[in-house]
């Protein structure tokens, strides 16, 4: 509750002063991954692990992030549970009074429960029915993800499922909502991005424009009826109303679409890569110039994050946190309910 209070206090302070602060940071602790998901935003399975930070380097940056206003760290990757020291890193973050979440594909969760018992929340990727999840993430991965979710719940860990909507699982929204209700967990629903700022996707996974609009309306309707969907109905409505063409995934070097909330990337959250480079957003990895926080410090690297030509995309979580940054009351209320387990 104290962390939630501090988060909202800092939101109001940032809004009033016009300043920026890395309140929430996705912290990639490894490039390695035990899956080969075809819709991975940074193709981690093709990246080298040789420049990954040591535990001491990660701790150094955690302290520096805290000094610069960070309140919450989300360990990710790659697959963060491939690090044998992940438990020590989790406990270090907690010892600093920061919130710590972890995002995983779920495969290794049953064997690492002791290492993640102190996290605030575990988010596991689960895209729908097993046969549709496995199309992009690999045969048998859905069952392993579900086993990981159940194991974590059995250990008393707060769990969320993350569903990425793509052209193969459009009919699985109700399935995931019902499964989430059955398990007693919250559900993140995001939209697939396959070729942001690039000419041609490696593997086409996106629904058509009309299909995206239909599924957004379905999600909005379910949310308003009380489905345990984490993001607010307002954020999905924002995407639906301001994004006219889903063939265009992001806007770079041009004004954002009319009605788009200001993107919070580089203003209230960022991504620390496994080698220390500090990005504004996961989708900008290797697409813009950034600075390495290990070399120049968090404060200097953070200044660079907002100096990029991207003005917006259709990712729901960007709209959600943009509306949060604008202190939109329905979105704030949704966030409070989600954070306190009242959803």
Going by pLDDT thresholds of 50, 70 and 90, the confidence category of residue 330 is very high
What is the rounded average pLDDT of the residues 120-139? 96
pLDDT at residue 201 greater than cutoff 70: no
> In Å, how far are 69, 90, 128, 324 from 17, measured between CA atoms?
14, 32, 42, 16
Residue with tokens 């800092």: 10
250 SS3 class: strand
Packed helices 2-17 and 316-325: angle between N→C axes, nearest 10 degrees: 70
Indicate the pairing of strand 99-104 with strand 72-76: parallel
CA distance 206 to 340: 34
Let me know how long the chain is: 343
- pLDDT of 231: 96
- The residue extents of the domains of the chain are 2-339
Going by pLDDT thresholds of 50, 70 and 90, the confidence category of residue 266 is very high
> In Å, how far are 284, 308, 316 from 288, measured between CA atoms?
6, 7, 22
- pLDDT of 195: 63
pTM for the structure as a whole: 0.93
Q: Report DSSP letters for 16-68, one per residue.
A: HH------EEEEE--S--S---TT-TT-GGGS-STTPPPHHHHHHHHHHHHHT
Which of 179, 253, 16, 83 minimizes the C-alpha distance to 162?
179
Q: Which residues pair with 281 in a beta bridge?
A: none
Which of 88, 95, 62, 228 minimizes the C-alpha distance to 158?
228
CA distance 238 to 72: 25
CA distance 219 to 228: 11
Going by pLDDT thresholds of 50, 70 and 90, the confidence category of residue 310 is confident
Going by pLDDT thresholds of 50, 70 and 90, the confidence category of residue 197 is low
CATH classification code of 2-339: 3.20.20.70
Query: What phi-psi label fits residue 109: left (phi over 0), alpha (psi between -120 and 50 degrees) or beta?
Result: alpha
Phi, psi of 62 (to 5 degrees): -60, -45
What is the C-alpha end-to-end distance of the chain, expressed in Å? Answer: 15
* CA trace torsion 176, 182, 186, 191 (10° rounding): 0
CA distance 238 to 215: 14
Going by pLDDT thresholds of 50, 70 and 90, the confidence category of residue 309 is confident
Contact between residue 316 and residue 189 where contact means Cβ atoms under 8 Å apart: yes
CA distance 300 to 292: 9
Percent of the chain past pLDDT 90, that is, above it, reads 70
Contact between residue 49 and residue 1 where contact means Cβ atoms under 8 Å apart: no
Q: Which two tokens stand for residue 313?
A: 């995309």
């Amino acid at each position: 509750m104290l962390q939630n209070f501090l988060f909202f206090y800092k939101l109001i302070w940032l809004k009033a002063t016009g300043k920026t602060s890395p309140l929430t940071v996705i912290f990639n602790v490894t490039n390695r991954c035990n899956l080969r998901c075809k819709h991975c935003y940074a193709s981690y399975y093709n990246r080298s692990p040789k420049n990954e930070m040591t535990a001491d380097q990660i701790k150094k940056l955690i302290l520096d992030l805290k000094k610069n206003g960070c309140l919450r760290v989300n360990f990710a990757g790659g697959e963060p549970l491939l690090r044998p020291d992940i438990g020590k890193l989790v406990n270090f973050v907690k010892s600093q009074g920061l919130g710590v979440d972890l995002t995983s594909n779920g495969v290794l969760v049953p064997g690492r429960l002791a290492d993640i018992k102190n996290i605030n929340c575990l988010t596991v990727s689960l895209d729908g029915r097993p046969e549709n999840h496995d199309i992009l993430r690999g045969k048998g991965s859905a069952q392993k993800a579900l086993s990981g979710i159940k194991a974590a719940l059995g250990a008393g860990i707060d769990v969320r499922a993350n569903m990425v909507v793509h052209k193969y699982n459009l009919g699985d929204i109700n399935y995931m909502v019902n499964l989430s209700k059955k398990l007693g967990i919250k559900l993140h629903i995001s939209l697939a991005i396959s070729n942001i700022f690039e000419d041609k996707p490696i593997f086409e996974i996106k629904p058509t424009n009309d299909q995206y609009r239909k599924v957004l309306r379905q999600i909005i309707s379910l949310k308003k009826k009380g489905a345990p969907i984490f993001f607010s109905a307002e954020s999905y409505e924002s995407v639906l109303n301001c994004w006219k063409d889903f063939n265009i995934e992001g806007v770079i070097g041009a004004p954002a679409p009319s009605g788009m909330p200001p993107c919070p990337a580089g203003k209230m959250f960022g991504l620390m890569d496994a080698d220390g480079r500090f990005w504004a957003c996961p989708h900008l990895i290797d697409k813009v110039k950034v600075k390495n926080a290990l070399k120049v410090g968090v404060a200097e690297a953070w200044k660079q994050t907002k100096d990029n030509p991207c003005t917006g995309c259709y990712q729901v979580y960007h709209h959600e946190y943009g509306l949060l940054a604008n202190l939109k009351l329905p979105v704030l209320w949704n966030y409070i309910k989600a954070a306190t387990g009242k959803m």
